[in-house]
Structure 1
């Protein structure tokens, strides 16, 4: 019973006694104790908060068992059965409250054990590598194991009264959660509308994407990946028996943006229903000191616990282009250098012909400068640029920016097939806000014991990843993305951000992933939106692209942060960079006419 999950984060009999009755276990009366014992059979079904009468009947069954085993007289049992089930319920659930994804990530980091390869499954090689790097370089990772008490025993994160001072700002966290909720509610309404009556929903109906896959085969695969399947399989049930169980209707609670809904459906249908919901990740940090100020790993932690900030990695699309252009600027290119805006024909590493796609039709056949190309996220120019540089060096540079995932050094990476987490991207983009110095995201500033004595203090590490000469060039280009390009929605209502800013949108093939990375001289923020699987996405680019799906989260967040005078972040902050020598003498003139800017400001940002 000390390890049993009684729901509402009540793990163990001590927590359960407090959550349901507000008592220590020794103070429980017999009917309260019997209620908890009865819950063990099926805590969701015999949930006294949601199903009081059903749980009372189960409690009475426990009385009968006590009579049968000689622990209670029949007369006493009959008398106790007449009593109502009275609770003093006090929710103690880490799934509720502010920043639940962050708190769970912090728990994971603090309690991590020293990585041993045999503890990781075969497909978890990258996780083992990431954890090994974190163990060696991050003093917070595995803190419990690395920092024993003076007597050599380990601290208990839950019972020792440790005071952990995090970098999260409650005001900014609230603004982030509100921004996510507002945008995801709106997007979900549009997504349901788009998928209504469509065969194969929520999956795409495009056979070029799915191949031979169908809704049934994809859901069958998801069933076999579920915890319920693994548990039943380990218990010896046959595949058919498990599938039968997934098709048996039962009472359950499912997610909606209007609040949890009690319903009756099969686990299979609930899985399909859940997959209709788009997922998201958002993080913001102070670029100067690495302090993570807001962290939202998904739409609702109770129902979607997979963290899309630190754990999930998705293809980054055109948000990779600043790394490519930074590399080019380091090699001596300037924003004014020109290339032919026509589809290139490139031999890849295997000798095959690669002809990348592009969006839009403006200025085809013209010579365009690199600043214009990045402003409007032109794929052809990125491919031509990569052809003149080294994919292997680009990968090394991205690793220097803090991206640890394996990336194949092939020419097509210039369009964003690499899979990266939101946390890594925010850390990487901090260099663009901070004069070329990348700040490692920091969760905690100090840990004190129960008496207030400081045990450990923490500060972010900083690494120069962009030289001074290249920084001015790339910053000017990323600022133009917000002024005139795919990020210009930030300048318009309802956001109307006036701060000096740079940024980059990203949208992967078929709108599977929508990104926006934005930064001011003080803050950096990043948002990703997409389906649980790459086959789940908007068919409409107008709704699924980065500027439409992800940018509003960043825009609404920054709008509220800048409006809050109690916060130390201002729209008056300046980058303080001299742009006078980054290009030729015509740099002060506009690179694109108003006509071409208006034509291309809403171009989709896709890669092939």
Structure 2
């Protein structure tokens, strides 16, 4: 009976064994197929050996200005490098003792460490057993990053890194791998490579790092943010001590050497690198060059790469002009920022919830908390909690105990500025400052923004007036008029003394002093549709509302549109596009050359264009921009136009010389925030100094752009400009005017108001500026 039962159990054991064996084989087959699919590139291509060999053969590409002066370079990793021989031995010892103690024994993947992770960390739950990643695996991750593949992200990326690690070990020596790793690994503070990290946290090259400093930096590799020695000094010191202990355990240090460091408090010498206007130019250059290179690769079946192919990119930029405008813009904005904050005193708009909350909602941290199901009130409460945080104060980053909302409000107080200068005759961009400080905002105002342009649009209103038959010495009444068809809109002048209803002003005077009432009347004379048509002919493509408010500049335009349109005033032709990248060379051979700039003729006759240019010259000589002459003492041939928008949100100055069109703007990225007063916010104060100071600085460098004259105007044009700026009505005309106005008033009072056309309420009963 017992034998029978024993015989019955044997088949069951065999079946179970076979089932387990088959399961193992199926799992092994699936796993092998999965690994094979990764190797064959079904989850994305693996780097080839040739790709990996190019890591040390990569050549930087260089951007040069129109005179072959280097503007910027682009490297494989865009970070500072250092040779391994230059590093102190304790840097290498700390790295190996902490990150990969069997580095010199394995071939890229440490099977012993992987088994330890499997049995101790995963099965036994012992977190202290460490990870299984080697320095070579980490190098593979640093170079190529990781793809988001959903549930398969971790296994696919890990296996890819393993294949890459084996290839790296096959191509490079251990010394080369260490050098590549230390030059590419991300450290705290958004630095890459130990040279950059050393300069950031200790203000010295990595070759001068002492043992404590080396251990501190190596310690941050475990978790860049958590062990940031600036943000979390106590935590970073504990991690440094772990590194020193590891070096002691593996005989890289004596007990005395270890004790000496363990008894020291952590000390750093932080140095935050500055980054201002040039960052915007560099970003624009990189983007345009990459677009061109991608097209070349597609057309020619090449594999050019901006970071590795050693290209020379010739640009239209003039380094002298770029440096002048960038430097003076930053200097001026620092001064005006202090005045801007002082004006508001305790009524700071950037601290109002209606201002900062919409900005907060656009941040990643807010969006992530929203995805997790938190309410607005809960998120605000969470982000109001204080923690150790870096806050930029306009000069440097300071470590403070503050909340995310505090940090946001501090950032929102900063004004911004931008400047674009072109050659009107070629369409070349000569300088490009897309913002004041890349640390405060990475938003490129020139490339992405369309701002209301204020009175800088008035020259096109007056150009239309000249075309319709008006002349620089035509006189129009300066009195305020109420436009009942447009919600009783009543445009007024900045100066009440110009509202005398019996005083008439020449167009020349009205433009130079930016009189709103005259500008609207010029628009009436020339016609709204005709004026918009003319603006289109000047190359303006943005929407222009069919409303009389365009006479005051209620139009949103880009910098490049303004620059091209004003080029049509300075020159007889308008560039259809602006040039930034002219040629690209590889090994001295031209592989790309920009097409010749296309132009179209200015819509104005030569006489009208020169009349308008002369009127804009009077803006500088006697009008709203006269400080160029009186304050800055510049006597050269300069014309221009100031501009200030509603509620002082934007200050503009457009400077014109025979060879330059320069668009300069000061304002705030958040259009809810403007200057408190016109005294500070007007373009003549907020934006004009950028041009004036940069021009003076440029004059010291070169006369190519500063020693030219506008075309000589003929006697006929001189005669048309030679008139009294103001003319008062005589007694009889004033009497007749009074009776006519009373009659019109009585008639209007008896009529019922027509249905009013919709119009922007911001103009209703408000005083428009400039």
TM-score range, shorter chain: 0.7 to 0.9
Q: Give me the whole-angstrom Cα distance separating, in 2, the residues matched to 1:460 and 1:36.
A: 52
> Match for residue 484 of structure 1?
622
> Match for residue 580 of structure 1?
715
Larger mean CA deviation between 415-424 and 77-86 belongs to 77-86
Q: Give me the whole-angstrom Cα distance separating, in 1, the residues matched to 2:435 and 2:241.
A: 41
For residues 287-298 of structure 1, the aligned pairs below 5 Å read 287-298=424-435
Query: Structure 1 residue 446: deviation in Å?
Result: 1.1
1:101-152 superposed Cα distances (whole Å, 9 cap, x missing partner): 11112223344xxxxxxxxxxxxxxxxxxxxxxxxxxxxxx32332216762
Q: Give me the whole-angstrom Cα distance separating, in 2, the residues matched to 1:245 and 1:489.
A: 50
Query: Structure 1 residue 51: deviation in Å?
Result: 6.4
Q: Give me the whole-angstrom Cα distance separating, in 2, the residues matched to 1:438 and 1:454.
A: 25
Q: Give me the whole-angstrom Cα distance separating, in 2, the residues matched to 1:301 and 1:416.
A: 29
Would the alpha carbon gap of residues 76 and 253 (structure 1) be closer, same or farther in structure 2, given more than 3 Å must change? same
RMSD between superposed Cα atoms in Å = 3.7
Task: Work out whether 1:46 is the aligned partner of 2:207.
Answer: no
SS in 1 for 2:716: coil
Q: Give me the whole-angstrom Cα distance separating, in 2, the residues matched to 1:580 and 1:6.
A: 70
Equivalent residues of 2:539, 2:576 under 8 A apart: no
Equivalent residues of 2:649, 2:674 under 8 A apart: yes
Equivalent residues of 2:289, 2:581 under 8 A apart: no
Q: Give me the whole-angstrom Cα distance separating, in 2, the residues matched to 1:392 and 1:76.
A: 85
SS in 2 for 1:442: coil
Larger mean CA deviation between 552-561 and 288-297 belongs to 288-297
> Match for residue 355 of structure 1?
490
Query: Structure 1 residue 491: deviation in Å?
Result: 0.4
Instruction: From 338, 354, 365, give the equivalent of 1:217.
Output: 354
Task: Work out whether 1:527 is the aligned partner of 2:664.
Answer: yes
Larger Rg: 2
For residues 428-447 of structure 1, the aligned pairs below 5 Å read 428-438=565-575, 440-447=577-584
Larger mean CA deviation between 54-63 and 219-228 belongs to 54-63
Larger mean CA deviation between 394-403 and 214-223 belongs to 394-403
Larger mean CA deviation between 512-521 and 391-400 belongs to 391-400
Q: Give me the whole-angstrom Cα distance separating, in 2, the residues matched to 1:472 and 1:568.
A: 22
Q: Give me the whole-angstrom Cα distance separating, in 2, the residues matched to 1:465 and 1:356.
A: 30
Q: Give me the whole-angstrom Cα distance separating, in 2, the residues matched to 1:153 and 1:92.
A: 39
Would the alpha carbon gap of residues 567 and 500 (structure 1) be closer, same or farther in structure 2, given more than 3 Å must change? closer
Query: Structure 1 residue 32: deviation in Å?
Result: 9.5
Equivalent residues of 2:392, 2:440 under 8 A apart: yes
Task: Work out whether 1:318 is the aligned partner of 2:455.
Answer: yes
Would the alpha carbon gap of residues 394 and 465 (structure 1) be closer, same or farther in structure 2, given more than 3 Å must change? same
> Match for residue 704 of structure 2?
568
Q: Give me the whole-angstrom Cα distance separating, in 2, the residues matched to 1:150 and 1:435.
A: 37
Q: Give me the whole-angstrom Cα distance separating, in 1, the residues matched to 2:186 and 2:703.
A: 40
Equivalent residues of 1:19, 1:91 under 8 A apart: no
Would the alpha carbon gap of residues 256 and 325 (structure 1) be closer, same or farther in structure 2, given more than 3 Å must change? same
Would the alpha carbon gap of residues 7 and 237 (structure 1) be closer, same or farther in structure 2, given more than 3 Å must change? farther
Q: Give me the whole-angstrom Cα distance separating, in 1, the residues matched to 2:228 and 2:217.
A: 14
Equivalent residues of 1:317, 1:606 under 8 A apart: no
Equivalent residues of 1:472, 1:579 under 8 A apart: no
| Residue segments in structure 2 that go unaligned for 5+ positions in a row | 1-140, 146-184, 199-204, 207-213, 728-766
> Match for residue 173 of structure 1?
322
* TM-score normalised according to structure 1 size: 0.77
For residues 311-350 of structure 1, the aligned pairs below 5 Å read 311-348=448-485
Instruction: From 414, 421, 424, give the equivalent of 1:277.
Output: 414
Query: Structure 1 residue 55: deviation in Å?
Result: 4.0
Would the alpha carbon gap of residues 157 and 248 (structure 1) be closer, same or farther in structure 2, given more than 3 Å must change? farther
> Match for residue 206 of structure 1?
none
Equivalent residues of 2:188, 2:220 under 8 A apart: no
Equivalent residues of 2:277, 2:436 under 8 A apart: no
> Match for residue 593 of structure 2?
457
Query: Structure 1 residue 545: deviation in Å?
Result: 0.7
Task: Work out whether 1:502 is the aligned partner of 2:681.
Answer: no
Task: Work out whether 1:260 is the aligned partner of 2:400.
Answer: no
| Residue segments in structure 1 that go unaligned for 5+ positions in a row | 24-29, 112-141, 204-213, 594-604
> Match for residue 474 of structure 1?
612
Q: Which structure has the highest helix share of the two? A: 2
Q: Give me the whole-angstrom Cα distance separating, in 1, the residues matched to 2:532 and 2:237.
A: 61
> Match for residue 386 of structure 1?
523
Considering Cα pairs closer than 8 Å and 6+ residues apart, tell me whether 1 or 2 has the greater RCO: 1
Q: Give me the whole-angstrom Cα distance separating, in 1, the residues matched to 2:522 and 2:413.
A: 39
Would the alpha carbon gap of residues 525 and 606 (structure 1) be closer, same or farther in structure 2, given more than 3 Å must change? farther
Larger mean CA deviation between 545-554 and 398-407 belongs to 398-407
> Match for residue 301 of structure 2?
152
Would the alpha carbon gap of residues 187 and 580 (structure 1) be closer, same or farther in structure 2, given more than 3 Å must change? same
Task: Work out whether 1:368 is the aligned partner of 2:368.
Answer: no
Q: Give me the whole-angstrom Cα distance separating, in 2, the residues matched to 1:188 and 1:525.
A: 22
Equivalent residues of 1:392, 1:410 under 8 A apart: no
Query: Structure 1 residue 354: deviation in Å?
Result: 2.6
> Match for residue 101 of structure 1?
280
Aligned residue-pair number:
528
Would the alpha carbon gap of residues 168 and 81 (structure 1) be closer, same or farther in structure 2, given more than 3 Å must change? farther
For residues 51-70 of structure 1, the aligned pairs below 5 Å read 54-55=235-236, 57-58=238-239
